[in-house]
Amino acid sequence: MRLLPILFSLILFIACKPKPPVRQPVTVSEDTTFLTGTFFLVRHAEKNPGPDSTLTPDGQKRAGLLYQALKDAQLNKIYLTHYVRSIQTTDSLRLKLNLDTCFYKADTTGESLIYEITRRGDWGKRILIIGHSNTLVPIMRSLRAKPHMAAIGEDEFNWLFTIKKTSAGSTLKEDCY
């Protein structure tokens, strides 16, 4: 007899359970900042011999020249590799302009950089990228820019590449600093 009221209560509970809400469609609009932005690419400054060495006196001067070249560029962030030479190349800009930095893995495809920019939601920003002689050209290509050179020479440290990437395409400006 006690089972009947419990069974009745259970049926009533199931019957009175509210229906799940109907999902309303959400209009999806294209994010106009995705895969866009202004990117300033440079190679780290001159380094001492060794796998992860510090900057030479000439490299320290070059880092100062980089600061002079980009101090008014309205940078939002710096992307660099974990190497000491890359970190020292950006020290003036990072410290004097109080810029946030993000690390990416140096690779010869540019995929790691693209992944980190996407993961951190930094598309549409003005970003300084510090690379290496064997990574700059692949990074430019991954940003859909067409550099005139196939590679950066081992003794070339003065190139400043500016890529403006819009939804319509990319433009590349090549300068020296």
The pLDDT tens digits of the residues spanning 22-36 come to 656 645 445 567 789
User: For the chain, what is the mean pLDDT?
Assistant: 89
15 or 55: whose pLDDT is higher?
A: 55
Question: 102: Cβ–Cβ under 8 A, 6 or more apart, which residues?
Answer: 77, 78, 79, 80, 116, 120, 122
pLDDT value at 93 more than 90:
yes
Q: Report the distance separating Cα 37 and Cα 27, nearest Å.
A: 25
Question: 14: Cβ–Cβ under 8 A, 6 or more apart, which residues?
Answer: none
| DSSP assignment of 59-78 | HHHHHHHHHHHHTTS---EE
Of the chain, the end-to-end C-alpha distance in Å amounts to 92
The structure's pTM equals 0.81
Q: What's the confidence (pLDDT) of residue 28?
A: 43
User: Is 122 within 8 Å of 129 (Cβ atoms)?
Assistant: no
